[in-house]
Amino acid sequence: MKRTAWVAGCALALSVLGSAGVPAQAQAQTTLRIMWYSDGNEGEVMNDLLRRFEDKNKDVKVVLDQVPFKAINETLPVQLASGQGPDLARITDMGGLAPYLMDVRAHVKDPAYWEQNYGPFLQWMRVPGNSTAIPGYMTQLTVTGPFVNKTLFEQAGVAMPGANATWEDWAKAAKAVADKVQAPFPVAFDRSGHRFFGLAVSQGAQMAEVGGELKPVDDGFKRAAKLVVDWHKSGVMSKELWGAVSGTAYRGANEEFKNAQVVFYESGSWQTAQFDKTIGDAFDWIAVPTPCGPANCSAMPGGAALVALKTGSHPAEVGRLLDYLASEEVAAEFYARTLFVPGHIGLAKKGIAYKSASPQAAAALKVFGDAVGKLDPVAYRIQGDPSSRIVFNAAISRLGQVVVGETSLDDAYQRISADVAQQIAERRKKQ
């Protein structure tokens, strides 16, 4: 072989293999990392969808880093504030983390599709004053609401409260059931500020701005707080749940509910898939409409969004990935397989066929879907407020102190207001 032919052959081989002896296509591959948490099987479903995306996009590799929700709620904000973080993350505090979200509007094929189908929820992800950013999409729309152990009611011979029943009606009935069947938890709430506001909004809480200053504690807030404290004092709620952790730490009661220890559990739609799998037909469990307060019978909306982060450095690839996942066909499959209420306007109107859901799960999803139409505008506003997470955390921290006897309600109200004012002021200094 002539030297010139050999050199040409080597050059061709190097162009194909690259300097490290691996295919040039692999060398050019972009890796995207997603920080992800799961309540049920959504991590498994998402991994399946990501592998399909990679099959069609050989230049992109997507790594799904699955972490506990605590890491999303507590660790990720600290990372982002220090300029570190993944390319994307599944988050719930959209308003609070909005300054760290990347706008991929220039990197999606059809912004009009996004506005049409995700528009109301994009508002939750945008910094105040921005009306165009597309930072991500809703992996689920959630609605707070109660799960009830119907079997325990039947065993106790106690009638379940009917339509438009109040919180007090359910508390009285749940206590009667628990006393008869020796269930340790008549009523359980997730130790979460968001779940507390599922009660507080119905009591008339507004979380309004007065004279440019946020007022987290109003008459509606106080009515809800007193109910929670009184229920702990009377044995309707147990200190074992809220007293097991302190500060802003989250504590769910899903384990206790699936073990048939809870009569009435205030949580939300995201638990449906988990209960369908872990409870099955061990006992009859149902979702019931949110109880009524003097203001309304509204739950709290919420959800989780998969968002692009400014800490990432591949906006084009992130935009391409989000376009794929947020497409109607792929999103519909994700919602159907995870048993989630769709956070997609078009799919919400068409309806989702939950083929894998048991009759109990399908019935629960209908209850939560119907609750969306009853959401009060105040609930949407509170959820989208950039300071909502600050208020939620302050509320649960200080009310937790009251529950365990460390302070009084009046003192807690003052401390909540002070905590919120201080943290908002600190955030403004950093911006």
pLDDT tens-digit profile of 45-92? 999 999 999 999 999 999 999 999 999 989 999 999 999 999 999 999
Q: How many CA atoms lie within 13 A of 96 on its CB side?
A: 22
230 contacts 319 by C-beta, under 8 angstroms: no
290 contacts 144 by C-beta, under 8 angstroms: yes
What per-residue confidence (pLDDT) applies to 431?
64
CA-angle at 158, arms to 157 and 159, nearest 5°: 120
What per-residue confidence (pLDDT) applies to 24?
44
Query: Can you give the pTM of this predicted structure?
Result: 0.81
Beta-strand pair 136-149/301-308: antiparallel
Regions of the chain with pLDDT less than 70:
1-27, 431
Looking at residue 73, the DSSP 8-state letter turns out to be I
Instruction: Return d(Cα 151, Cα 313) in angstroms, integer.
Output: 53
Burial 326-339 (b: 16+ CB within 10 A, else e): bbeeebbbbbbbbb
Instruction: Return d(Cα 339, Cα 271) in angstroms, integer.
Output: 9
What per-residue confidence (pLDDT) applies to 18?
44
**Summary mean pLDDT of the chain:** 92
270 contacts 340 by C-beta, under 8 angstroms: yes
**Which amino acid is it at 224?**
A
Q: Which two tokens stand for residue 28?
A: 């050019």
Q: How many CA atoms lie within 13 A of 154 on its CB side?
A: 8
